[in-house]
Structure 1
Amino acid sequence: MTSTAGTATRAAAPEPLCHPGPVLPDRVVSLETRLVTHEVELPAGARLLDALGDVLVRFCAAGAVGRLVGGSLAEFDYYIPALGPPGGSVATFSEPIPGGRNGRLRLGGVTLGHRDGEVFAHSHALFDTALGERRAGHLIPDSVVLGRGVTAHVAVSADVRYDVTPDPETTMSLFEPRRVVPGPADRGEPIGRRAIVCRVRPNVDLPTTIERLTEQQGWTGARVHGQIGSIIGGRLRQPDGSILVVEGPATEVMYLDGEVRRVDGRMTADLTAGLVDRFGGIHHGGLVCGMNPVAMTYELALAESDPIG
Protein backbone atom coordinates (compact mmCIF):
# COMPACT_ATOMS: atom_id res chain seq x y z
CA MET A 1 0.00 0.00 0.00
CA THR A 2 1.37 3.42 -0.90
CA SER A 3 0.60 6.99 0.04
CA THR A 4 0.70 10.29 -1.80
CA ALA A 5 4.11 11.15 -0.36
CA GLY A 6 7.07 11.49 -2.73
CA THR A 7 10.83 11.67 -2.45
CA ALA A 8 13.19 14.61 -2.53
CA THR A 9 16.94 15.00 -2.31
CA ARG A 10 16.39 18.17 -0.27
CA ALA A 11 13.71 18.43 2.38
CA ALA A 12 12.76 20.93 5.05
CA ALA A 13 11.58 20.13 8.53
CA PRO A 14 7.78 20.15 8.89
CA GLU A 15 5.97 23.09 10.43
CA PRO A 16 5.17 22.68 14.14
CA LEU A 17 1.68 21.52 15.03
CA CYS A 18 -0.64 23.89 16.85
CA HIS A 19 -2.39 21.81 19.50
CA PRO A 20 -5.61 23.00 21.17
CA GLY A 21 -4.30 23.06 24.74
CA PRO A 22 -1.57 24.92 26.66
CA VAL A 23 2.07 24.24 25.81
CA LEU A 24 3.64 22.73 28.90
CA PRO A 25 7.16 23.96 29.73
CA ASP A 26 8.65 20.53 30.42
CA ARG A 27 9.00 19.09 26.91
CA VAL A 28 10.66 15.84 27.91
CA VAL A 29 9.65 13.86 31.00
CA SER A 30 12.60 11.62 31.89
CA LEU A 31 13.09 9.17 34.77
CA GLU A 32 16.23 7.19 35.52
CA THR A 33 15.86 3.46 36.06
CA ARG A 34 17.40 0.09 35.23
CA LEU A 35 16.16 -2.02 32.33
CA VAL A 36 16.40 -5.81 32.16
CA THR A 37 15.72 -7.49 28.82
CA HIS A 38 13.72 -10.70 28.33
CA GLU A 39 12.45 -12.73 25.39
CA VAL A 40 9.13 -14.52 25.91
CA GLU A 41 6.93 -16.52 23.54
CA LEU A 42 3.34 -15.48 24.20
CA PRO A 43 0.69 -18.21 24.54
CA ALA A 44 -1.55 -18.99 21.58
CA GLY A 45 -5.22 -18.37 22.25
CA ALA A 46 -4.60 -15.68 24.86
CA ARG A 47 -5.69 -12.07 24.60
CA LEU A 48 -2.68 -9.85 23.97
CA LEU A 49 -3.39 -7.76 27.09
CA ASP A 50 -3.62 -10.83 29.30
CA ALA A 51 -0.41 -12.31 27.91
CA LEU A 52 1.52 -9.07 28.37
CA GLY A 53 0.10 -8.61 31.86
CA ASP A 54 1.45 -12.05 32.72
CA VAL A 55 4.88 -10.90 31.51
CA LEU A 56 4.83 -8.06 34.05
CA VAL A 57 3.87 -10.45 36.84
CA ARG A 58 6.46 -13.04 35.82
CA PHE A 59 9.33 -10.56 36.02
CA CYS A 60 7.97 -8.49 38.95
CA ALA A 61 8.00 -5.47 36.63
CA ALA A 62 6.21 -2.15 36.92
CA GLY A 63 6.35 -1.45 33.19
CA ALA A 64 7.96 -2.55 29.97
CA VAL A 65 8.87 -1.41 26.47
CA GLY A 66 9.94 -3.44 23.48
CA ARG A 67 8.61 -5.21 20.43
CA LEU A 68 6.44 -8.06 19.23
CA VAL A 69 7.98 -10.29 16.57
CA GLY A 70 6.61 -12.97 14.26
CA GLY A 71 3.85 -15.49 14.69
CA SER A 72 0.16 -15.32 13.91
CA LEU A 73 -2.78 -13.21 15.05
CA ALA A 74 -5.93 -15.27 15.44
CA GLU A 75 -8.12 -12.16 15.63
CA PHE A 76 -7.37 -8.43 15.59
CA ASP A 77 -8.62 -4.98 14.68
CA TYR A 78 -6.55 -1.85 14.18
CA TYR A 79 -6.58 1.89 13.50
CA ILE A 80 -4.53 4.09 11.22
CA PRO A 81 -3.90 7.81 11.90
CA ALA A 82 -6.56 10.31 10.87
CA LEU A 83 -7.13 14.06 10.90
CA GLY A 84 -8.70 15.39 14.07
CA PRO A 85 -12.06 17.20 14.14
CA PRO A 86 -12.19 21.02 13.72
CA GLY A 87 -11.34 22.68 17.02
CA GLY A 88 -10.26 19.38 18.58
CA SER A 89 -7.14 17.26 18.59
CA VAL A 90 -4.83 17.77 15.61
CA ALA A 91 -4.87 14.04 14.89
CA THR A 92 -6.93 11.07 15.96
CA PHE A 93 -7.66 7.49 14.89
CA SER A 94 -9.57 6.15 11.94
CA GLU A 95 -12.64 4.02 12.47
CA PRO A 96 -11.65 0.49 13.56
CA ILE A 97 -10.44 -1.62 10.65
CA PRO A 98 -11.13 -5.36 10.90
CA GLY A 99 -7.91 -7.32 10.60
CA GLY A 100 -9.86 -10.53 10.25
CA ARG A 101 -8.55 -13.90 11.30
CA ASN A 102 -5.25 -15.67 10.85
CA GLY A 103 -3.09 -12.64 10.17
CA ARG A 104 0.71 -12.78 10.29
CA LEU A 105 2.56 -10.44 12.61
CA ARG A 106 5.78 -9.15 11.11
CA LEU A 107 7.08 -6.65 13.65
CA GLY A 108 5.64 -4.18 16.09
CA GLY A 109 6.57 -1.93 18.97
CA VAL A 110 4.84 -2.13 22.33
CA THR A 111 4.66 -0.08 25.52
CA LEU A 112 3.18 -1.85 28.52
CA GLY A 113 1.71 0.19 31.35
CA HIS A 114 -1.57 0.85 33.15
CA ARG A 115 -4.88 2.60 32.55
CA ASP A 116 -7.38 3.08 35.38
CA GLY A 117 -5.38 0.64 37.47
CA GLU A 118 -5.47 -2.14 34.87
CA VAL A 119 -2.74 -3.37 32.54
CA PHE A 120 -2.86 -1.59 29.20
CA ALA A 121 -0.73 -1.85 26.06
CA HIS A 122 0.09 0.57 23.26
CA SER A 123 1.22 -1.23 20.11
CA HIS A 124 1.88 -0.22 16.50
CA ALA A 125 2.61 -3.12 14.17
CA LEU A 126 3.35 -4.32 10.66
CA PHE A 127 1.34 -7.38 9.64
CA ASP A 128 -0.13 -9.38 6.76
CA THR A 129 -3.81 -10.20 6.44
CA ALA A 130 -5.01 -13.75 5.76
CA LEU A 131 -5.06 -12.77 2.07
CA GLY A 132 -1.37 -11.85 2.19
CA GLU A 133 -1.92 -8.07 2.03
CA ARG A 134 0.74 -6.06 3.88
CA ARG A 135 -0.82 -3.60 6.33
CA ALA A 136 0.20 -1.59 9.39
CA GLY A 137 -1.44 0.34 12.16
CA HIS A 138 -2.31 0.79 15.81
CA LEU A 139 -3.46 -2.54 17.24
CA ILE A 140 -6.65 -2.21 19.30
CA PRO A 141 -5.45 -4.05 22.41
CA ASP A 142 -8.79 -5.50 23.52
CA SER A 143 -9.34 -7.00 20.06
CA VAL A 144 -6.12 -8.99 19.69
CA VAL A 145 -6.19 -12.76 20.22
CA LEU A 146 -2.81 -14.36 19.72
CA GLY A 147 -2.02 -17.25 17.44
CA ARG A 148 1.14 -19.33 17.61
CA GLY A 149 4.68 -18.05 17.65
CA VAL A 150 4.39 -14.40 18.74
CA THR A 151 7.49 -13.43 20.71
CA ALA A 152 7.78 -10.42 23.02
CA HIS A 153 11.23 -8.85 23.32
CA VAL A 154 10.83 -6.57 26.33
CA ALA A 155 12.94 -4.36 28.56
CA VAL A 156 11.34 -4.18 32.00
CA SER A 157 11.67 -1.69 34.85
CA ALA A 158 10.98 -2.38 38.52
CA ASP A 159 10.41 1.23 39.55
CA VAL A 160 9.08 3.15 36.51
CA ARG A 161 5.81 2.48 34.76
CA TYR A 162 3.74 4.21 32.10
CA ASP A 163 0.27 5.37 33.21
CA VAL A 164 -2.42 6.68 30.86
CA THR A 165 -3.19 10.25 31.95
CA PRO A 166 -5.15 13.15 30.42
CA ASP A 167 -2.87 15.42 28.41
CA PRO A 168 -4.09 19.03 28.36
CA GLU A 169 -1.92 20.06 25.39
CA THR A 170 -3.22 17.50 22.90
CA THR A 171 -6.54 16.86 24.73
CA MET A 172 -5.85 13.12 24.46
CA SER A 173 -5.15 10.49 27.11
CA LEU A 174 -1.53 9.41 26.74
CA PHE A 175 1.10 7.29 28.46
CA GLU A 176 3.43 9.16 30.83
CA PRO A 177 6.19 7.58 32.95
CA ARG A 178 5.80 7.66 36.73
CA ARG A 179 8.02 6.55 39.60
CA VAL A 180 6.64 3.67 41.66
CA VAL A 181 7.91 1.77 44.69
CA PRO A 182 9.52 -1.49 43.56
CA GLY A 183 8.24 -4.77 44.93
CA PRO A 184 10.08 -6.59 47.74
CA ALA A 185 11.92 -8.82 45.25
CA ASP A 186 13.48 -5.75 43.58
CA ARG A 187 14.75 -3.87 46.63
CA GLY A 188 18.21 -5.39 46.73
CA GLU A 189 21.24 -4.55 44.64
CA PRO A 190 20.05 -2.98 41.34
CA ILE A 191 20.31 -5.15 38.26
CA GLY A 192 20.08 -4.37 34.57
CA ARG A 193 21.51 -1.60 32.47
CA ARG A 194 21.34 2.03 33.46
CA ALA A 195 18.50 3.57 31.52
CA ILE A 196 15.99 6.38 31.21
CA VAL A 197 12.29 6.08 30.45
CA CYS A 198 10.77 9.18 28.87
CA ARG A 199 7.80 10.85 27.32
CA VAL A 200 8.67 13.32 24.55
CA ARG A 201 6.04 16.01 23.97
CA PRO A 202 4.90 17.53 20.65
CA ASN A 203 7.13 19.53 18.30
CA VAL A 204 10.37 18.25 19.86
CA ASP A 205 12.75 16.66 17.35
CA LEU A 206 13.09 12.98 18.21
CA PRO A 207 16.61 12.16 16.90
CA THR A 208 18.08 15.34 18.41
CA THR A 209 16.43 14.57 21.74
CA ILE A 210 17.84 11.04 21.76
CA GLU A 211 21.34 12.44 21.19
CA ARG A 212 20.94 15.11 23.88
CA LEU A 213 19.59 12.72 26.51
CA THR A 214 22.45 10.29 25.92
CA GLU A 215 24.97 13.12 26.31
CA GLN A 216 23.31 14.38 29.49
CA GLN A 217 23.50 10.94 31.09
CA GLY A 218 27.26 10.89 30.57
CA TRP A 219 27.13 7.59 28.72
CA THR A 220 29.47 6.58 25.90
CA GLY A 221 26.41 5.47 23.92
CA ALA A 222 22.86 4.21 24.15
CA ARG A 223 20.51 1.65 22.66
CA VAL A 224 16.94 2.63 21.80
CA HIS A 225 14.25 0.44 23.40
CA GLY A 226 11.12 2.63 23.30
CA GLN A 227 9.40 1.97 19.98
CA ILE A 228 6.04 3.76 20.07
CA GLY A 229 4.85 7.26 19.21
CA SER A 230 4.06 9.60 16.35
CA ILE A 231 6.01 12.17 14.36
CA ILE A 232 4.91 15.03 12.12
CA GLY A 233 4.81 13.27 8.77
CA GLY A 234 8.33 11.94 8.46
CA ARG A 235 11.67 12.59 6.79
CA LEU A 236 13.36 9.27 6.02
CA ARG A 237 16.74 8.87 4.37
CA GLN A 238 16.71 6.23 1.63
CA PRO A 239 19.57 3.94 0.52
CA ASP A 240 20.26 6.16 -2.52
CA GLY A 241 20.70 9.24 -0.29
CA SER A 242 17.35 10.82 -1.14
CA ILE A 243 14.89 11.81 1.58
CA LEU A 244 11.39 10.39 1.57
CA VAL A 245 8.87 13.02 2.71
CA VAL A 246 5.81 11.50 4.39
CA GLU A 247 2.66 13.59 4.68
CA GLY A 248 1.39 14.42 8.19
CA PRO A 249 0.09 15.70 10.44
CA ALA A 250 0.64 12.58 12.54
CA THR A 251 2.43 9.46 11.32
CA GLU A 252 2.70 6.48 13.65
CA VAL A 253 6.07 4.89 14.40
CA MET A 254 5.83 1.08 14.29
CA TYR A 255 9.43 0.45 15.30
CA LEU A 256 12.62 2.39 15.93
CA ASP A 257 15.98 0.63 15.67
CA GLY A 258 19.31 2.13 16.41
CA GLU A 259 22.09 3.32 18.63
CA VAL A 260 23.74 6.53 19.71
CA ARG A 261 27.53 6.78 19.62
CA ARG A 262 30.08 9.55 19.84
CA VAL A 263 31.29 10.39 16.34
CA ASP A 264 33.89 13.13 15.78
CA GLY A 265 33.33 14.44 19.29
CA ARG A 266 29.53 14.56 19.37
CA MET A 267 26.73 12.14 20.12
CA THR A 268 25.25 10.90 16.85
CA ALA A 269 22.10 8.83 16.52
CA ASP A 270 21.82 6.22 13.76
CA LEU A 271 18.10 5.41 13.72
CA THR A 272 15.95 3.37 11.34
CA ALA A 273 12.16 3.61 11.56
CA GLY A 274 9.03 2.10 10.09
CA LEU A 275 6.04 4.42 9.74
CA VAL A 276 2.38 4.19 8.78
CA ASP A 277 0.68 7.35 7.49
CA ARG A 278 -2.96 8.48 7.49
CA PHE A 279 -3.54 6.88 4.09
CA GLY A 280 -2.35 3.49 5.34
CA GLY A 281 0.95 3.88 3.48
CA ILE A 282 3.97 2.08 4.93
CA HIS A 283 7.42 3.70 4.88
CA HIS A 284 10.90 2.69 6.04
CA GLY A 285 14.18 4.58 6.27
CA GLY A 286 16.66 6.45 8.43
CA LEU A 287 15.32 9.25 10.62
CA VAL A 288 16.92 12.53 9.53
CA CYS A 289 18.15 14.51 12.54
CA GLY A 290 16.43 17.88 12.95
CA MET A 291 13.54 16.94 10.65
CA ASN A 292 11.42 14.51 12.69
CA PRO A 293 9.60 16.30 15.48
CA VAL A 294 7.07 14.46 17.63
CA ALA A 295 3.43 14.94 16.64
CA MET A 296 1.41 13.84 19.69
CA THR A 297 3.76 11.89 21.95
CA TYR A 298 6.70 9.51 21.94
CA GLU A 299 7.30 6.80 24.54
CA LEU A 300 11.09 6.65 24.58
CA ALA A 301 13.42 4.38 26.53
CA LEU A 302 17.21 4.44 26.26
CA ALA A 303 19.65 2.02 27.87
CA GLU A 304 23.37 2.56 28.25
CA SER A 305 25.38 0.59 25.71
CA ASP A 306 28.79 -0.98 26.17
CA PRO A 307 31.83 1.16 25.33
CA ILE A 308 33.45 0.44 21.97
CA GLY A 309 36.83 -1.21 22.21
Structure 2
Amino acid sequence: MKILHPLLLLLLILSIRTQAQEDPLPSWNNGPVKEHIIAFVTAVCTVGSPDFVPVEDRIATFDNDGTLWAEKPLIQGLFAIFRIHRMVLQNPALKTKQPFKAVIEHNKEYFEKAGMPEIMKLFEITHSGMTATEFRNEVALFFQTVKHPTLKTPLYQSVYKPQLELLEYLRIHGFKNFICSGGTVDFMRVVTDTLYNIPSERVMGSELKYQYIDSAGVNDIMRLPGMFVFNDKQEKPVSIQYHIGKRPILACGNEGGAGDVYMLRFSQGNQYKSLQLIVNHDDAEREFYYQEKDNKSLNMAHQYNWEIISMKNDWNVIFP
Protein backbone atom coordinates (compact mmCIF):
# COMPACT_ATOMS: atom_id res chain seq x y z
CA MET A 1 0.00 0.00 0.00
CA LYS A 2 1.78 3.14 -1.24
CA ILE A 3 1.39 6.23 0.91
CA LEU A 4 0.29 9.25 -1.11
CA HIS A 5 1.40 12.57 0.29
CA PRO A 6 0.28 16.03 -0.83
CA LEU A 7 1.83 17.66 -3.85
CA LEU A 8 3.86 19.79 -1.45
CA LEU A 9 6.13 16.88 -0.57
CA LEU A 10 6.78 16.09 -4.23
CA LEU A 11 7.60 19.73 -4.95
CA LEU A 12 9.96 19.76 -1.97
CA ILE A 13 11.87 16.74 -3.25
CA LEU A 14 12.09 18.19 -6.75
CA SER A 15 13.31 21.53 -5.39
CA ILE A 16 16.01 19.80 -3.33
CA ARG A 17 17.26 17.99 -6.41
CA THR A 18 17.36 21.24 -8.37
CA GLN A 19 19.17 23.08 -5.57
CA ALA A 20 21.72 20.28 -5.30
CA GLN A 21 23.03 21.31 -8.71
CA GLU A 22 23.77 24.81 -7.36
CA ASP A 23 24.28 24.84 -3.60
CA PRO A 24 24.09 21.17 -2.59
CA LEU A 25 23.07 22.01 0.98
CA PRO A 26 21.05 25.27 0.88
CA SER A 27 19.39 24.69 4.27
CA TRP A 28 22.81 24.43 5.89
CA ASN A 29 24.52 27.62 7.04
CA ASN A 30 27.99 28.23 5.67
CA GLY A 31 30.52 27.12 8.24
CA PRO A 32 32.98 24.37 9.19
CA VAL A 33 30.43 21.52 9.28
CA LYS A 34 29.03 22.22 5.82
CA GLU A 35 32.53 22.78 4.45
CA HIS A 36 33.77 19.48 5.89
CA ILE A 37 30.82 17.55 4.44
CA ILE A 38 31.34 18.98 0.95
CA ALA A 39 35.10 18.52 1.17
CA PHE A 40 34.66 14.90 2.24
CA VAL A 41 32.23 14.06 -0.57
CA THR A 42 34.49 15.78 -3.10
CA ALA A 43 37.55 13.89 -1.86
CA VAL A 44 36.02 10.41 -1.91
CA CYS A 45 34.19 10.89 -5.23
CA THR A 46 36.93 12.50 -7.34
CA VAL A 47 38.86 10.11 -9.55
CA GLY A 48 42.57 10.59 -8.97
CA SER A 49 42.07 11.85 -5.42
CA PRO A 50 44.21 10.02 -2.83
CA ASP A 51 40.98 9.51 -0.87
CA PHE A 52 38.92 8.22 -3.82
CA VAL A 53 36.42 5.51 -2.86
CA PRO A 54 34.89 3.18 -5.49
CA VAL A 55 31.13 3.56 -5.92
CA GLU A 56 30.44 0.11 -4.51
CA ASP A 57 32.02 1.12 -1.18
CA ARG A 58 30.30 4.49 -0.79
CA ILE A 59 28.05 3.42 2.06
CA ALA A 60 26.28 5.89 4.35
CA THR A 61 24.24 4.90 7.40
CA PHE A 62 21.79 7.16 9.23
CA ASP A 63 19.88 6.79 12.45
CA ASN A 64 16.22 7.82 12.05
CA ASP A 65 14.66 9.09 15.30
CA GLY A 66 16.19 12.46 16.11
CA THR A 67 18.50 12.24 13.10
CA LEU A 68 16.20 12.27 10.08
CA TRP A 69 12.91 13.17 11.80
CA ALA A 70 11.85 14.60 15.15
CA GLU A 71 11.74 12.21 18.12
CA LYS A 72 9.92 14.32 20.71
CA PRO A 73 7.66 12.44 21.14
CA LEU A 74 8.70 9.23 19.40
CA ILE A 75 6.64 8.88 16.26
CA GLN A 76 6.40 5.14 16.76
CA GLY A 77 5.09 5.84 20.26
CA LEU A 78 2.35 7.93 18.66
CA PHE A 79 1.58 4.93 16.48
CA ALA A 80 1.14 2.75 19.58
CA ILE A 81 -1.40 5.27 20.93
CA PHE A 82 -3.11 5.34 17.54
CA ARG A 83 -3.38 1.55 17.60
CA ILE A 84 -4.81 1.52 21.14
CA HIS A 85 -7.63 3.84 20.07
CA ARG A 86 -8.27 1.72 16.99
CA MET A 87 -8.39 -1.47 19.05
CA VAL A 88 -10.78 0.06 21.61
CA LEU A 89 -13.00 1.26 18.78
CA GLN A 90 -13.24 -2.32 17.52
CA ASN A 91 -13.65 -3.78 21.02
CA PRO A 92 -15.02 -1.19 23.54
CA ALA A 93 -14.60 -3.61 26.45
CA LEU A 94 -10.83 -3.05 26.26
CA LYS A 95 -11.11 0.51 27.56
CA THR A 96 -11.53 -0.76 31.13
CA LYS A 97 -8.37 -2.88 30.97
CA GLN A 98 -4.77 -1.78 31.33
CA PRO A 99 -2.80 -0.46 29.55
CA PHE A 100 -5.71 0.54 27.28
CA LYS A 101 -7.40 2.47 30.10
CA ALA A 102 -4.27 4.51 30.88
CA VAL A 103 -3.79 5.47 27.22
CA ILE A 104 -7.43 6.45 26.72
CA GLU A 105 -7.39 8.55 29.89
CA HIS A 106 -3.94 10.09 29.13
CA ASN A 107 -2.69 8.71 32.43
CA LYS A 108 1.09 9.19 32.18
CA GLU A 109 1.55 8.47 35.88
CA TYR A 110 0.40 4.90 35.33
CA PHE A 111 3.30 4.18 32.97
CA GLU A 112 5.76 6.10 35.14
CA LYS A 113 4.89 3.87 38.10
CA ALA A 114 4.58 0.64 36.10
CA GLY A 115 7.89 1.22 34.34
CA MET A 116 9.45 -0.38 31.29
CA PRO A 117 7.65 -3.78 31.53
CA GLU A 118 4.27 -2.10 31.03
CA ILE A 119 5.64 0.07 28.20
CA MET A 120 6.94 -3.05 26.46
CA LYS A 121 3.55 -4.69 27.00
CA LEU A 122 1.92 -1.69 25.30
CA PHE A 123 4.37 -2.04 22.42
CA GLU A 124 3.70 -5.75 21.97
CA ILE A 125 -0.07 -5.33 22.14
CA THR A 126 -0.09 -2.67 19.44
CA HIS A 127 2.56 -4.14 17.13
CA SER A 128 1.79 -7.86 17.11
CA GLY A 129 -1.14 -10.20 16.58
CA MET A 130 -1.63 -9.28 12.93
CA THR A 131 -0.13 -10.14 9.57
CA ALA A 132 2.63 -8.10 7.95
CA THR A 133 0.11 -6.85 5.40
CA GLU A 134 -2.34 -5.73 8.09
CA PHE A 135 0.44 -3.98 9.98
CA ARG A 136 1.61 -2.14 6.88
CA ASN A 137 -1.92 -0.92 6.22
CA GLU A 138 -2.23 0.32 9.82
CA VAL A 139 1.05 2.25 9.55
CA ALA A 140 -0.03 3.76 6.23
CA LEU A 141 -3.33 4.89 7.73
CA PHE A 142 -1.49 6.35 10.72
CA PHE A 143 0.75 8.54 8.55
CA GLN A 144 -2.17 9.64 6.44
CA THR A 145 -4.32 10.80 9.35
CA VAL A 146 -2.27 11.70 12.46
CA LYS A 147 -0.60 15.05 13.07
CA HIS A 148 2.44 15.73 15.21
CA PRO A 149 1.10 16.83 18.63
CA THR A 150 3.79 19.46 19.23
CA LEU A 151 4.63 20.71 15.74
CA LYS A 152 0.94 20.64 14.71
CA THR A 153 1.87 19.44 11.22
CA PRO A 154 1.32 16.20 9.29
CA LEU A 155 3.88 13.63 10.40
CA TYR A 156 5.70 13.58 7.08
CA GLN A 157 6.60 17.24 7.69
CA SER A 158 8.47 16.34 10.87
CA VAL A 159 11.48 15.32 8.78
CA TYR A 160 14.56 17.55 8.79
CA LYS A 161 14.94 19.44 5.53
CA PRO A 162 18.76 19.76 5.82
CA GLN A 163 19.00 15.98 6.14
CA LEU A 164 16.84 15.46 3.06
CA GLU A 165 19.33 17.63 1.19
CA LEU A 166 22.27 15.66 2.58
CA LEU A 167 20.71 12.34 1.57
CA GLU A 168 20.10 13.63 -1.95
CA TYR A 169 23.60 15.12 -2.18
CA LEU A 170 25.10 11.77 -1.24
CA ARG A 171 22.82 9.83 -3.56
CA ILE A 172 23.73 11.85 -6.66
CA HIS A 173 27.40 11.23 -5.81
CA GLY A 174 26.99 7.48 -5.90
CA PHE A 175 26.39 6.78 -2.22
CA LYS A 176 24.02 4.07 -1.06
CA ASN A 177 22.10 5.49 1.89
CA PHE A 178 20.93 3.12 4.61
CA ILE A 179 18.88 3.63 7.76
CA CYS A 180 20.04 1.88 10.93
CA SER A 181 17.60 2.77 13.70
CA GLY A 182 16.16 1.53 16.96
CA GLY A 183 12.67 1.86 15.47
CA THR A 184 11.09 -1.33 14.20
CA VAL A 185 12.06 -2.15 10.66
CA ASP A 186 8.55 -2.82 9.32
CA PHE A 187 7.26 0.48 10.71
CA MET A 188 9.96 2.54 8.98
CA ARG A 189 9.85 0.63 5.70
CA VAL A 190 6.33 1.86 5.00
CA VAL A 191 7.54 5.45 4.60
CA THR A 192 11.31 5.55 4.01
CA ASP A 193 11.07 5.31 0.23
CA THR A 194 8.57 8.17 0.09
CA LEU A 195 10.23 10.40 2.68
CA TYR A 196 13.93 9.76 2.08
CA ASN A 197 14.23 7.99 -1.26
CA ILE A 198 15.64 5.03 0.69
CA PRO A 199 14.11 1.70 -0.41
CA SER A 200 12.90 -0.78 2.18
CA GLU A 201 15.78 -3.21 1.60
CA ARG A 202 18.17 -0.54 2.88
CA VAL A 203 16.42 -0.16 6.22
CA MET A 204 17.71 -1.83 9.38
CA GLY A 205 15.85 -1.65 12.67
CA SER A 206 14.51 -3.53 15.65
CA GLU A 207 12.65 -6.70 14.72
CA LEU A 208 9.74 -8.59 16.25
CA LYS A 209 9.41 -12.34 16.17
CA TYR A 210 7.70 -13.63 13.02
CA GLN A 211 5.98 -16.81 11.92
CA TYR A 212 4.99 -17.76 8.39
CA ILE A 213 1.31 -18.77 8.08
CA ASP A 214 -0.15 -20.66 5.14
CA SER A 215 -3.58 -21.82 6.27
CA ALA A 216 -7.19 -20.71 6.58
CA GLY A 217 -6.87 -18.38 3.64
CA VAL A 218 -3.79 -16.64 5.07
CA ASN A 219 -0.50 -16.63 3.18
CA ASP A 220 1.53 -14.09 5.11
CA ILE A 221 3.96 -13.39 7.92
CA MET A 222 2.34 -13.26 11.36
CA ARG A 223 3.78 -10.74 13.81
CA LEU A 224 4.29 -12.37 17.23
CA PRO A 225 4.83 -10.85 20.69
CA GLY A 226 8.45 -10.50 21.71
CA MET A 227 11.48 -8.72 20.34
CA PHE A 228 13.90 -10.63 18.13
CA VAL A 229 16.45 -7.81 17.83
CA PHE A 230 16.61 -4.43 19.59
CA ASN A 231 18.71 -2.43 17.16
CA ASP A 232 20.44 0.08 19.42
CA LYS A 233 23.95 0.93 20.64
CA GLN A 234 26.36 -2.02 20.11
CA GLU A 235 23.71 -3.85 18.10
CA LYS A 236 23.88 -1.30 15.28
CA PRO A 237 27.34 -2.30 13.99
CA VAL A 238 26.21 -5.93 14.21
CA SER A 239 23.15 -5.18 12.06
CA ILE A 240 25.31 -3.33 9.54
CA GLN A 241 27.62 -6.34 9.30
CA TYR A 242 24.67 -8.72 8.87
CA HIS A 243 22.77 -6.65 6.30
CA ILE A 244 25.50 -4.81 4.38
CA GLY A 245 28.74 -6.65 5.06
CA LYS A 246 30.71 -3.41 4.72
CA ARG A 247 31.57 -0.57 7.05
CA PRO A 248 29.99 2.77 6.16
CA ILE A 249 32.32 5.58 5.19
CA LEU A 250 29.76 8.09 6.49
CA ALA A 251 27.66 7.57 9.60
CA CYS A 252 25.21 10.04 11.10
CA GLY A 253 23.40 9.86 14.43
CA ASN A 254 22.19 12.24 17.12
CA GLU A 255 22.92 13.31 20.66
CA GLY A 256 19.97 12.02 22.62
CA GLY A 257 20.70 8.72 24.30
CA ALA A 258 24.09 7.50 23.07
CA GLY A 259 22.32 4.99 20.85
CA ASP A 260 24.37 5.84 17.76
CA VAL A 261 27.94 6.23 19.01
CA TYR A 262 29.00 2.66 18.25
CA MET A 263 27.76 2.93 14.68
CA LEU A 264 29.95 5.99 14.27
CA ARG A 265 32.93 4.27 15.89
CA PHE A 266 32.42 1.27 13.62
CA SER A 267 32.66 3.51 10.57
CA GLN A 268 36.04 4.79 11.77
CA GLY A 269 37.55 1.35 11.36
CA ASN A 270 37.18 1.67 7.61
CA GLN A 271 40.07 1.31 5.20
CA TYR A 272 38.86 4.48 3.52
CA LYS A 273 38.56 8.09 4.61
CA SER A 274 35.40 8.40 6.69
CA LEU A 275 33.10 11.04 8.18
CA GLN A 276 31.03 10.89 11.35
CA LEU A 277 28.18 13.31 12.13
CA ILE A 278 26.25 13.90 15.36
CA VAL A 279 23.08 16.03 15.35
CA ASN A 280 22.91 18.13 18.51
CA HIS A 281 19.39 19.10 19.63
CA ASP A 282 20.23 22.58 20.87
CA ASP A 283 17.40 24.60 19.29
CA ALA A 284 14.52 25.02 21.73
CA GLU A 285 12.84 27.65 19.57
CA ARG A 286 12.58 25.80 16.26
CA GLU A 287 12.72 22.18 17.46
CA PHE A 288 13.39 20.84 20.97
CA TYR A 289 16.26 21.26 23.41
CA TYR A 290 17.45 18.08 25.11
CA GLN A 291 20.82 16.67 26.09
CA GLU A 292 22.15 13.44 27.52
CA LYS A 293 22.81 13.65 31.26
CA ASP A 294 26.35 12.35 30.85
CA ASN A 295 26.98 13.98 27.42
CA LYS A 296 28.40 10.67 26.21
CA SER A 297 27.74 11.33 22.52
CA LEU A 298 29.23 14.82 22.54
CA ASN A 299 32.20 13.71 24.64
CA MET A 300 32.93 10.89 22.19
CA ALA A 301 32.49 13.32 19.30
CA HIS A 302 35.25 15.48 20.75
CA GLN A 303 37.41 12.46 21.56
CA TYR A 304 37.18 10.92 18.10
CA ASN A 305 36.93 14.11 16.00
CA TRP A 306 33.36 13.70 14.83
CA GLU A 307 31.49 16.63 13.35
CA ILE A 308 28.83 18.03 15.70
CA ILE A 309 25.85 19.47 13.83
CA SER A 310 24.29 22.29 15.82
CA MET A 311 20.63 22.53 14.83
CA LYS A 312 20.67 26.10 16.11
CA ASN A 313 23.80 27.27 14.28
CA ASP A 314 24.28 24.94 11.30
CA TRP A 315 20.72 24.73 9.94
CA ASN A 316 18.95 27.83 8.65
CA VAL A 317 15.77 25.77 8.19
CA ILE A 318 14.78 22.68 10.16
CA PHE A 319 11.42 21.47 8.87
CA PRO A 320 10.04 21.58 5.30
| TM-score under structure 2 length normalisation | 0.27
Of structures 1 and 2, the one scoring higher in RCO (CA 8 A, sep 6+) is 1
**Which protein is richer in strand relative to its size?**
1
Answer with 1 or 2: which has the greater Rg: 2
Q: Which has the higher helix share?
A: 2
